[in-house]
Amino acid sequence: MERPARDPLPTTADDATREIEADVATRLAENPDFTCRVGNFGFIELEESWGDEATIINTARVSTSNQRVADVAAFTDRERQLLYHLLAHNHGTPFETVHFRWRVIAPIFVLRQWMRHRIGSFNEFSQRYRQPISAYFIPDREARTVGGVEVMSEAQLAEYCRLMDSLQQFYERSYAETCARLAAAEEGGLVPRLAGGRNPYRARARELLRNAMPVATYSDIYWTVNFRSLMNFFDLRRKPEAQTEIRQYADAAYAMFLRRFPLLGATMNRVLAEKGGEHR
C-alpha cells in the first residue's frame, strides 16, 4: 500500500492540519528559493537571517582596528583570508553574530534529535491549545530499504498506517466525547460556562490525550540559531551516520544557507573538510 510521496492530508485531516498545509503552499509560492518540502508532510523555510560575512569581519576587527567593510561586495582577499583564519582557528564568537530563523515542520522523532542542539531557541506548536497535526510520517520505498533489502514491507507499512490512523481516531473520538460531557455539565450547571479565553477543562483533556500521539506525528516549530551553532548542526546532521530523515532537513537547510551566503558556505566547507568531514 505505497502511498504517493505527496499525499499529505489524511481523510481525517483536521482544521489545524489543513491550515498548515495551506500556509505551506503560500510560503512555497512566495519564497521559492528559501523553502523546501521534505517527506510526505514536512517543510523547511529560511524565513529570516540577520547579519552576514561583513558583520563577522567587523566584529572581529574590534580587537585589532576599526576598519569596517560595508558588505561582502567590498571584500578583498584580506577579508576572505581573515574569515577563513578565524573559522579555522576556532575564533568562534564573531560567528555568533549572524542569526537565522527557520520554520520547520517535521515528525516529532526528527525534532527530538534536533532539540539536542542546545545552542539555539525553539518555539513549538502547542498540543495543549491545538489539536495535534493529523498528518504523520510515512516512510517511502527508499526509506524502507537498506542496500536493496526491504526492512519494512508493504504489509508492515499498511499495518503501521492503520495503527497511526487508529491513534488519531482515538484522539478525535475521545476529545469529542469529553467536549460533549463538558457541554452537558455546563448545561446542568456543574461547571461554569466559560465565555472566551482558554478553557482549562479542554486544555487538560488535550494534555492527557496528546500522550497517545506517536513520535511519527508532525509538529511545527521555529528554530532560531546563530551561525556557529548552525555549522555544528550541518557538520553533525549531514554526515552519513545521521538518521536519513534529519539529514534530509539538514541538507535542505544547507542548500538554502549556501544560496544566501555563498562565501561563508565555501569557507565553512573548507574548514570542515580540513577537519576531516566526510560529507562534503
Ligand X SMILES: Cc1cc2nc3c(=O)[nH]c(=O)nc-3n(C[C@H](O)[C@H](O)[C@H](O)COP(=O)(O)OP(=O)(O)OC[C@H]3O[C@@H](n4cnc5c(N)ncnc54)[C@H](O)[C@@H]3O)c2cc1C
Task: List the catalytic residues.
Answer: 237
Site for ligand X in 56-95 (CB under 6 A): none
- d(CA 60, CA 57) in angstroms, rounded, equals 5
Least distance in angstroms from the C-beta of 118 to ligand X: 3
What is the per-residue binding string for ligand X in 173-212, x denoting contact by CB under 6 A?
----------------------------------------
Beta bridge partners of 221: 104, 124
Q: Which of residues 251-280 bind ligand X (CB under 6 A)?
A: none
Separation between Cα atoms, residue 155 and residue 137, nearest integer Å: 17
Strand residue runs (E) in 109-234: 121-124, 145-146, 149-150, 218-226
Range 215-244, binding ligand X (CB under 6 A):
229, 232, 236-237, 241-242
At closest approach, how far in Å is the CB of 235 from ligand X? 9
Rounded CA separation 86/50 (Å): 20
Residue 72's H or E segment, with its range, is: none
Query: Binding mask 102-141 vs ligand X (x if CB under 6 A, - otherwise)?
Result: --------------xxxx----------------------
Give phi and psi for 106, each to the nearest 5. Answer: -150, 160
Give the 3-state secondary structure percentages of the chain, helix then strand then coil, rounded to 5. Answer: 55, 15, 30
Q: Which is nearer to ligand X, 161 or 242 (CB)?
A: 242
CB of 243 to ligand X, least distance (A): 7
Q: How far is the CB of 212 from ligand X (least distance, A)?
A: 25
Nearer to ligand X, 144 or 237 (CB): 237
Q: Cell 576587527, residue?
A: 61
Instruction: Using CB under 6 A, list all residues that contact ligand X.
Output: 116-119, 229, 232, 236-237, 241-242
